[in-house]
Chains A and B, each alone.
Chain A
Amino acid sequence: MVYTKRHIAVLIMGLALLALGYCTELGLLDDVIKYLGTSRSKPAMITLPYTFGAIGVVIGLWQLIGLHRPGGLDYINSALGGALFILFVAMLIRWFLDPLVAVWSRAVGPVFGGKYIHDVFGLNYIVLGIVAGILLVNTVGIPSWAQNGVRLSRLGLKTGVVLLGTLYFLQEILHLGTASFTLIGIFVLGSVGLVLWMGRLMTVSNSMGGVLSAGVGVCGVSAAVAAAPVVQAKSAEIAYTIGTILLWGVGCMFVFPTVGKLLHMSPEAFGAWAGTGILNSAQVAGAALAFQPDGIETLKVAEIFNITRILFLPLIVVWLAVWYVRRETAVNGAAQAQSVGAMAVSAPRVSVGRVIVDKFPLFVLGFIFMFLLNLTGVFLPKGVSANDLWKGQYFDNNLKADRLLKDKDVDALRAVADKAKRSDHKAALERLIANKKVMSVSDYHALDGLSASGALSKEAKAVVSGARRSVMHTPKIVGWFRDWIVWLFAFGLTGLGMQITIASLKQAGGQPLVIGGVVGTIKAVGSLIVVIVFAGLLGLSTL
């Protein structure tokens, strides 16, 4: 069978992207960019459309005039058009629709606690991408030439997760390790147990209960698919579970950021909550980015919790294997258990070691590999070691003259010099005034404490904040990785939206939806309470 469709759409998309890059480079879009306030994105609006436009033209021409024969090359070729389609939609949303919604939202004015509509509901390129995907697939549908490529979205998400390993540093893992393992341990094991118990009460089949418990308890769709063979789940049961997880996850993606903002949660606390309480990995990333679209801190914490949850997958798979064998034996009864034929069908022999080798997601190992690679300092500038890093940044106070404090800044600091009570705060402030720049990492932290103490005037606080920012630098390559991760997630989640049909959501109806809804709610509310009440104990920053 030949999968590649001879269609002009990919070529047109390629040409449209080239035109976008060209118009941006010539400055024809400057007024639009100014109106939307996206001047910082201008370099990317030239580079990315040129690059992917050229790729699109080559693929489009190949699809139109090339000879296509059944085989692997044809299969991959057929998927590239759809991948470009997702990327095209993601670019339009990120550079035009998202800023346009923000402009309209600001025009309406603050509506809720001084925040704008798009802030309250988290209407950023991630959420808008998923919504656009859902609208597309449920109205005009995904064109036949793009159908294959839409199924590449999960690859984008997994690649993003692997690269995310380059953004974690040992200090953060050590800081979050206890919190994530405690929270995830309680809620993953608790959710799996609760689903299995409710399934038994509601007389749901063992295979349905098993696959649903993995999906609800661990990391959503991947876990459901991984656990399915172990509990001999039927295709319909996998589809039901996926529908339940997606329906619940989409709801969470909108509700979680709104609740987080209403409660004024810190990025760390929200990341911990989202990483624990939201069922599916994709929606964890979506909620984290919706909560904090202009930074990566929330996403990093949420993904640490998410990764910790994924690390529980082999344990859950083994638990389900043992549970299923026991349940089937019990259901069949002692008399049937003596029948060799019945046992052979209902209670397969499961090798614990084989299950772990076969089911452990390799992309999690990739994440860990990238993290370990990062620890070697290979991605850091010369002269900077991983030990010099603080929250992904390193200290360097070799500043050019124009980055030093100005005389009026120094005057603002002198005016509040006697307000500092603690000796370390006072000494750090004196050194800042004398040298017009922050002199050490310990001064950096002491000045942070001085700002937080409330002793400084608004003006002095701004000066201290600027001085602190000027000496902490993000390694250049880390900035690149961040950009790639954001685009990979935008690609993956827009494509994910294109797979959410109303029909698949309806499939979640009935008992799986009830069980998933009850356990999902308990997990979301329970983890929120634990994060709020035990934030200090878990080592999370306060709300």
Chain B
Amino acid sequence: MNRQDSQKIDIHTTETGFQYHRGSALSIFKSDRREDVAALVCACLIALGAYAHVNYGWGFAHLRTLVGL
């Protein structure tokens, strides 16, 4: 691939020609910063969930009791 051709490759396009109009070929997010924020939110939700489960017994078994299964 010469240098001019190399400029035609885009991380928004896969080898099969599929074009991602939003995000990039690596992520659905518009930017790394947004992906970082989403990761922070997910991690906090998981931490809160684990905390509630361990300290208050909330979880799968609790949910099954609630819905009567």
Contacts and interface: CB of A to CB of B under 8 A. Distances in A.
Interface of A: 1, 47, 50-51, 75, 79, 141, 147-149, 151-152, 154-155, 158-159, 161-163, 166, 205, 221-222, 225-226, 234-240, 242, 358, 361-363, 366, 370, 373, 378-379, 476-477, 480-481, 484, 499, 501, 503-504, 507, 510
Report the interface size class on chain B.
Answer: 35 or more
Nearest to B22: A75
Name, among A51, A221, A226, A480, the residue most crowded by chain B CB atoms within 10 Å (CB to CB).
A480
A480 B15 contact: no
Name, among B7, B27, B33, B46, the residue most crowded by chain A CB atoms within 10 Å (CB to CB).
B46
Nearest to B54: A477
A284 B1 CA distance: 31
Contacts of B25: 151, 499
A501 B43 contact: no
A238 B32 CA distance: 15
A162 B32 contact: no
A477 B11 contact: no
B15 A501 contact: yes
Interface of B: 1, 3, 5-11, 14-16, 18, 20-29, 32-33, 35-40, 42-43, 46-47, 50-51, 53-54, 60
Given A235-B9, A477-B51, A501-B15, A151 B40 contact: no
Given A155-B42, A378-B51, 15 more contacts: A50-B60, A147-B18, A155-B28, A155-B39, A158-B35, A159-B43, A235-B7, A235-B10, A242-B11, A379-B51, A480-B50, A481-B47, A484-B50, A499-B25, A510-B1
15 contacts: A147-B18, A151-B20, A151-B23, A152-B27, A236-B7, A236-B9, A238-B11, A358-B33, A361-B32, A480-B54, A481-B50, A484-B46, A501-B15, A504-B15, A507-B9
B36 A361 contact: yes
Given A363-B36, A484-B50, A151 B21 contact: no
Given A370-B43, A476-B54, A362 B6 contact: no
Name, among B1, B11, B26, the residue most crowded by chain A CB atoms within 10 Å (CB to CB).
B26
A79 B11 contact: no
Contacts of B9: 235-236, 239, 507
A145 to B, nearest CB: 13
Contacts of B54: 476-477, 480
Query: Top 9 A-B pairs ranked by shortest CB distance?
Result: A362-B36, A236-B6, A158-B39, A162-B43, A503-B15, A236-B9, A480-B50, A159-B42, A366-B40
Contacts of B40: 162, 362-363, 366
Contacts of B36: 158, 361-363, 366
B1 to A, nearest CB: 8
Contacts of B53: 480
A361 B37 CA distance: 10
A259 B49 CA distance: 39
A366 B43 contact: yes
Contact of B33 (A148, A151, A235, A362): A362
Contacts of B35: 154-155, 158
Contacts of B50: 477, 480-481, 484
Contacts of B5: 236
